[in-house]
Structure 1
Amino acid sequence: MSTSKHLNTMTYDVVIVGGGAAGLATIASLLKRQPDLSIALVEPSKHHYYQPGWTLVGGGVFEQRSTCKEMADLIPKSVSWFENAAVSFSPHQNSVFLTDDIKLNYRSLVVATGLKLDWSAIAGLEGNLGQNGITSNYQPGMAPYTWELVKKLERGSAIFTQPPMPIKCAGAPQKAMYLACDHWLRDKRLQNINVEFCSAGAALFGVADYLPALMSYVEKYNITLNLQTNLIGIDVDAKKATFKKTNADSSTEIIEKSFDMLHVTPAQVAPDVIRQSPLADAAGWVDIYPDTMQHKVYANIFSLGDCANSPNSKTAAAVRKQAPVVAENLISMLNNKKLRSVYDGYGSCPLTVERGKIVLAEFIYGGKIDPSFPKWLIDGTKPSSLSWFLKEKMLPPLYWYAMLKGHEWMANPIHRDDLPTDRHAKPSCNFDAN
């Protein structure tokens, strides 16, 4: 940002960059605790999406319109909304620069930009998504095309892909596959369709406790499982996908697979504005302490959600637990008090293994399972119709009317003094990294 330009400068207690789940939930949790805070939200989009619903849109359960609301309807009236994009961060000046020559000064900054879908990492994909049998539930508005392809495919080859970690909702690529297979099985077409799951990871799912249930569905649907097999290119005219496969001896080979339907999960990286800023770690993510969500260098900066480098699953369920922690710690920081609230790495992945049943994966740092319900009610390691009811009927209103409104049901922050000793250990791995 050139200093020679005349900048429109404003100052706030808190500036929040990003109006996705993480940004809006943090605003709600902050105002719940201190309603008189002056808060600015930086978010150029006019729409807000309930992204966990896109799997069900792609499976013919939800309508796309049910997953979208107007951004203006979700932002509290006391919050100043800047419909601009952040272009640079100046943490030494406590400033954020936006498009249209706007400069926002802050006492505290919350970075919640989400991540970037890197479609360009797959040769031949750009310009062909949403046609020729190529789809992705990760692309806004694309899930209805996924369902269209599922309904129309009578026979042939269907390939579902997963790139290297990190990605948001690590189970989503296989959720799409299971729902498609369930539809084809019920419609007595599955025997005519060759289904393959090509994952860059070395395991189907990163938390071993859930593998038996998932593998039982791989067998039920007769899915060919290709691990350490990463999509690198697409020949649209020939309808062939190119993969780089890593063998057991670490050697690699290039293989081609024909497809009639291809569900692509793109590589995912931090947004450019983060990667090019002083806030980023070597990989480009916002560099924070994984327990307090506070930046490792700049004490008045916090980050949560998909753009942060805490080694947790990048899911809305994680954000639901992170936002109250950020809110409490940020207010403590503003008042020169010790940061007491900690995030234990909780994440959840409701794996839609068939229409009407879900394997409810819940875990914390280190890949330790951490169920929200007693085992007699929901055993998360087994497919459950009650878990499906939770996903289909309960979680959407919980998202819109609780999480984004500051009602922290089952999300009260853990305080360090109350944390069991087995959770004091620093997280040492990203358990989503297969």
Structure 2
Amino acid sequence: MQSRTTRAESTVSPSIKHHQILIVGGGAAGIAVASSLLARDSRLDIGLIDPADQHYYQPGWTLVGAGVFQPASTMRSMASLIPKGVNWIKHAVVSFTPHTSSLTLEDGRVFGYEQLIVCPGLKLDWAAIKGLNETLGTNGVTSNYRYDLAPYTWKLVQELKQGRALFTQPPMPIKCAGAPQKALYLSCDHWLKAGRQAQVKTQFFNAGAVLFGVADYVPALMKYIDKYAVELNFNHTLVEVDGPAKKATFARKLTDGSTETLICDFDLLHVVPPQVAPDFIRSSPLADAAGWVDVDPATLQHRAFANIHALGDVTNTSNAKTAAAARKQAPVVATNVLTALSRSTDEAHYDGYGSCPLTVERGKIVLAEFTYGGKLAPSFAPWLLDGRKPTRLAWWLKERILPPLYWRGMLKGREWLARPTLLPGSVAK
């Protein structure tokens, strides 16, 4: 049995190494599920595979882009977060061989497992938009979806005195579907309070057909769209950026199924890139036709391989891809993996919970919480916090409570407000 210390395995060996449980991905989902497993059984032999040196609290980047958080507060070293007792394999996975319960790393090593948990997140496909990579971080082109660019967003917002500001949202699915709007609202709030709203023409280009996927929250959001005089453009997808010329090209889907091209000038362009599953997932036997890991939406067990579970942004479940979803999924996967190992008789189900704190102005948030099918799932009584209305309490939760809940709760296996739902007949341990 391995001692309960965190270490990185890096020595190349021709022999096949083995762990009782292998976790692919050290983001929010990976570290949370590792901690949840150890909280249930500290004797488990767990290996976690991730090549990254740093771990990021990505929900905080919206507030970095609005000058509320400092970038450094959203980053910690991976070594400081991986639970003691988990063997850190600091490499990348290149392929899976589920029929032999093994996978291969970039250095050629093969690892075997009894249970595999897949949670490497998703890929931000910047290259899918022509000219974007060449101009990101310059020429007024920015994105809160990158750690190094969120501060540039705030710089641009402060400096823009007049002109045209464009905000984009790509086709679904994407990480945190409300984040493109959060950048829009917080920027507009700054310009309004600085007396510049009339001088800044603001447009929102959404590849989808609605402002937000859960209709109950749309009325509150529309009030802010009107307040900030934002021009809404649905069914518009950003396809090209010419940074030096400050021109953005959109493909607009027409009702007859055809498309037309629209070119817009800009002074500030906030881009959210298309998002897909990582390459090594899309090319693997674990993926569905769209490239996402194919799991049962309730148990998060792979549909074809019984000793594989997945969670987080990489799955093909229909929930919102948010940290809040991963926080709820981690205990479910931990419970079901232990049952698969005959360490438990419980079976847990995930109901599709996701949360999106929509920062409609500095100091107020519309707290969207919902499960599969867009069913509202508020965490608080309506008299305390009605998520369909902008409230200061929801802002306080986002700014003051959620970051420590993430670092000290979720990533440590403390399942505050996240205990899994067990099937009838199961007994909570």
Common fold, TM-score beyond 0.5?
yes
Q: 2:14 aligns with which of 7, 15, 30?
A: 7
Q: Which consecutive unaligned segments of at least 5 residues does structure 1 have? A: 420-434
Deviation of 1:127 after TM superposition, in Å, equals 2.0
Q: Are residues 194 and 308 of structure 1, via their aligned partners in 2, closer, same or farther at CA, if it must alter by over 3 Å?
A: same
Deviation of 1:296 after TM superposition, in Å, equals 0.2
Q: 1:403 aligns with which of 397, 410, 425?
A: 410
Q: Are residues 69 and 6 of structure 1, via their aligned partners in 2, closer, same or farther at CA, if it must alter by over 3 Å?
A: closer
Q: Deviations over 1:52-77 (max 9, x none)?
A: 00000001100000000010000122
Which AA in structure 1 matches 2:31?
Answer: L
Structure 1 distance, partners of 2:119, 2:347, is 21
SS at match of 1:110: strand
Query: 1:125 maps to what in 2?
Result: 132
Query: 2:84 maps to what in 1?
Result: 77
Q: Are residues 415 and 233 of structure 1, via their aligned partners in 2, closer, same or farther at CA, if it must alter by over 3 Å?
A: same
Query: 2:257 maps to what in 1?
Result: 250
Q: How does 1:134-145 map to 2 (within 5 A)?
A: 134-145=141-152
Structure 1 distance, partners of 2:13, 2:223, is 63
Q: 1:201 aligns with which of 208, 213, 237?
A: 208
Contact 1:8 1:101 in 2 (8 A): no
Question: 1:221 aligned to 2:238?
Answer: no
Q: 2:69 aligns with which of 54, 62, 84?
A: 62
SS at match of 2:112: strand
Query: 1:388 maps to what in 2?
Result: 395
SS at match of 1:127: helix
Structure 2 distance, partners of 1:19, 1:193, is 41
Structure 1 distance, partners of 2:235, 2:346, is 41
Deviation of 1:252 after TM superposition, in Å, equals 1.8
Q: How does 1:160-179 map to 2 (within 5 A)?
A: 160-179=167-186
Structure 2 distance, partners of 1:383, 1:126, is 36
Query: 1:287 maps to what in 2?
Result: 294
Structure 2 distance, partners of 1:6, 1:46, is 22
SS at match of 2:281: helix
Contact 2:346 2:422 in 1 (8 A): no
Contact 2:348 2:421 in 1 (8 A): yes
Which AA in structure 2 matches 1:304?
Answer: L
Give the % identical residues.
Answer: 58
Structure 2 distance, partners of 1:281, 1:35, is 34
SS at match of 1:52: helix
Query: 2:424 maps to what in 1?
Result: 417
Q: Aligned residues, how many?
A: 415
Q: Are residues 338 and 380 of structure 1, via their aligned partners in 2, closer, same or farther at CA, if it must alter by over 3 Å?
A: same
Q: Deviations over 1:202-227 (max 9, x none)?
A: 00000000000000000000000000
Which AA in structure 1 matches 2:94?
Answer: V
Query: 1:351 maps to what in 2?
Result: 358
Structure 1 distance, partners of 2:283, 2:155, is 39
TM-score by length of 2: 0.95
Which AA in structure 1 matches 2:124?
Answer: L
Query: 1:156 maps to what in 2?
Result: 163
Structure 1 distance, partners of 2:394, 2:54, is 29
Deviation of 1:111 after TM superposition, in Å, equals 0.3
Q: Are residues 38 and 377 of structure 1, via their aligned partners in 2, closer, same or farther at CA, if it must alter by over 3 Å?
A: same
Query: 1:116 maps to what in 2?
Result: 123
Contact 1:292 1:339 in 2 (8 A): no
Query: 1:95 maps to what in 2?
Result: 102
Further displaced range: 100-109 or 334-343: 334-343
SS at match of 1:23: helix
Q: Which consecutive unaligned segments of at least 5 residues does structure 2 have? A: 1-11
What is the alpha-carbon root mean square deviation over aligned residues? Answer: 1.3
TM-score by length of 1: 0.94
Q: Deviations over 1:256-295 (max 9, x none)?
A: 1100000000000000100010000000000000000000
Contact 2:31 2:83 in 1 (8 A): no
SS at match of 1:160: strand
Deviation of 1:101 after TM superposition, in Å, equals 2.2
Q: Deviations over 1:216-265 (max 9, x none)?
A: 00000000000001100112222110001112343321111100000000
Question: 1:18 aligned to 2:28?
Answer: no
Which AA in structure 2 matches 1:412?
Answer: R
Question: 1:191 aligned to 2:182?
Answer: no
